[in-house]
Chain A
């Protein structure tokens, strides 16, 4: 029982030093958050990013946060903490979203009014025949 207790304790201490990485996509960048499980952020850690459009290197801030520009299209993010603590994650390359052309509000109103009058005009025309 004592051996089991010691093993669990040792295991927990190892787990507390595991480095976690979380990424979220924001407007024009990918936000990276890295921390150890003891809720301590990975401060000033090196972030190495490999992307389809080039590589990028930066350091995390005091909150363990770093921002990666989306234009490099990252595929792999590695966070390098001191004393051999290192973790990396794979990212699916970002596909360029097809920008839907949004017409101005007033143009849509004019179009709607045009359709109404054309529709009823056609109805009147067909009714005469």
Chain B
């Protein structure tokens, strides 16, 4: 899901930096001091999740858990994701510093979709489906945005754009299932965290 350095055109990098930076500033503005420990824990979860790689054919996908992070943090998820992406780029070369804005935007904005789905009131029998969608939808949105960015980047990236979207299809389902079980587990052991 991370876009490496030296791939994107400068126009896209600048636009991504403006959008990602704007989202980050809004997140800082909305920051609630009491939520900082929760942001730190979920930033660590996001940081660790990316190291679990699943090989799919010629490429590989990895867990992102942006939906789960978004569900718990709302707008503060942007700060958590930005911090984790910054350290991943700096320490492991996942993504990079010039693509930090684009990557933040690609993963943090869909995390907000996770929060909106999570906040949506529904009937008891549909709660499991809702929790599945909390994990599924952000990856669907992120993958679509990633493919779109690659397509805009140039003709030669069209094949990679399609391949990355197809490769992320299983990731959407896996993330949906993991998020569903994670939320079920939290409901069992610490239901107070699930209150909006």
SS of A interface (majority): helix
Interchain CB contact under 8 A, B33 and A128: yes
Q: Which residues of A contact B166 (CB under 8 A)?
A: none
Q: Which residues of A contact B39 (CB under 8 A)?
A: 120
Question: A91 contacts the other chain (Cβ, under 8 Å)?
Answer: no
Question: A116 contacts the other chain (Cβ, under 8 Å)?
Answer: yes
Which residues of A from 96 to 122 have beta carbons under 8 Å from B?
108-109, 111-113, 115-117, 119-121
Q: How far is the CB of B27 from chain A (nearest CB, A)?
A: 12
Q: How far is the CB of A129 from chain B (nearest CB, A)?
A: 11
- Assess A124 versus B36: contact at CB under 8 Å? Given A113-B44, A116-B43, A116-B83: yes
**A119 and B44 alpha carbons, distance in the complex (Å):** 12
SS of B interface (majority): helix
Residue of A108, A111, A119, A127 touching B83 (CB-CB under 8 A): A119
Number of interchain pairs (Cβ within 8 Å): 38
Q: How far is the CB of B188 from chain A (nearest CB, A)?
A: 26
**A112 and B37 alpha carbons, distance in the complex (Å):** 16
- Assess A116 versus B36: contact at CB under 8 Å? Given A108-B91, A108-B92: no
Interchain CB contact under 8 A, B36 and A127: yes
Q: How far is the CB of B48 from chain A (nearest CB, A)?
A: 7
Q: How far is the CB of A77 from chain B (nearest CB, A)?
A: 36
Interchain CB contact under 8 A, A117 and B91: no
Q: Which residues of B contact A117 (CB under 8 A)?
A: 40, 44
**A128 and B36 alpha carbons, distance in the complex (Å):** 11
Which residues of A pack against B, CB within 8 Å?
A: 108-109, 111-113, 115-117, 119-121, 123-124, 127-128
Which residues of B pack against A, CB within 8 Å?
A: 33, 36-37, 39-40, 43-44, 47-48, 51, 83-84, 87-88, 91-92
